[in-house]
């Protein structure tokens, strides 16, 4: 049985930011972009998802939206840190978000409990586990984990 080879995901990034390892969250396509002849290359990404530049290609274009030069880059979905319940944080488990609100305004864990790039209807694989703490809102044990989107479903 042969393994299916995925074509690289290609998009455009501001040339000043285009370097291997640069991470960003795709904000979607602006109205001005819908008339651009480069729309197809920019619109391959999913809105709200965190990406990492893998390769910078030599080709550059002029971006009509920003007025700047943009570089052609290959990207991949990037892992990110998030908090999950301690009893779900096992090895390479597959998880979904377990909370959708917090009652503590300005909570110091807010950026981990509700990280940018986390999409509610996606599933994520635990890559690594880090520190444990107790949620000050609902008083349950949490673990900071490194997650990467997966094709597996729950």
Q: Which residue has the tokens 């001005």?
A: 32
In the prediction, which pLDDT does 78 show? 92
Per-block average pLDDT, block size 10, for the chain (154 residues)?
73 96 91 88 87 96 89 94 86 73 85 83 87 90 90 64
CA distance 23 to 46: 14
In the prediction, which pLDDT does 66 show? 85
In the prediction, which pLDDT does 24 show? 94
- Reading the block at residue 112, the tokens are 């981990």
In the prediction, which pLDDT does 19 show? 97
């Amino acid at each position: 049985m042969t393994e299916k080879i995925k074509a690289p995901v290609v998009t455009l990034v501001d040339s000043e930011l285009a370097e291997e390892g640069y991470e960003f969250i795709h904000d979607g396509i602006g109205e001005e972009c819908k008339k651009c002849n480069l729309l197809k290359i920019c619109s391959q990404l999913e809105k709200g998802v965190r990406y990492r530049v893998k390769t910078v290609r030599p080709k550059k274009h002029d971006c009509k939206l920003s007025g700047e030069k943009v570089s052609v880059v290959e990207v991949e979905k990037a892992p990110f840190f998030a908090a999950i319940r301690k009893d779900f944080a096992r090895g390479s488990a597959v998880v979904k978000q377990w909370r959708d609100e917090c009652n503590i305004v300005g909570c110091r864990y807010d950026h981990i409990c509700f990280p940018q790039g986390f999409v509610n209807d996606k599933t994520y694989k635990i890559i690594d586990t880090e520190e444990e703490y107790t949620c000050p809102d609902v008083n349950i044990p949490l673990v900071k984990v490194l997650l990467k989107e997966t094709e597996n479903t729950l």
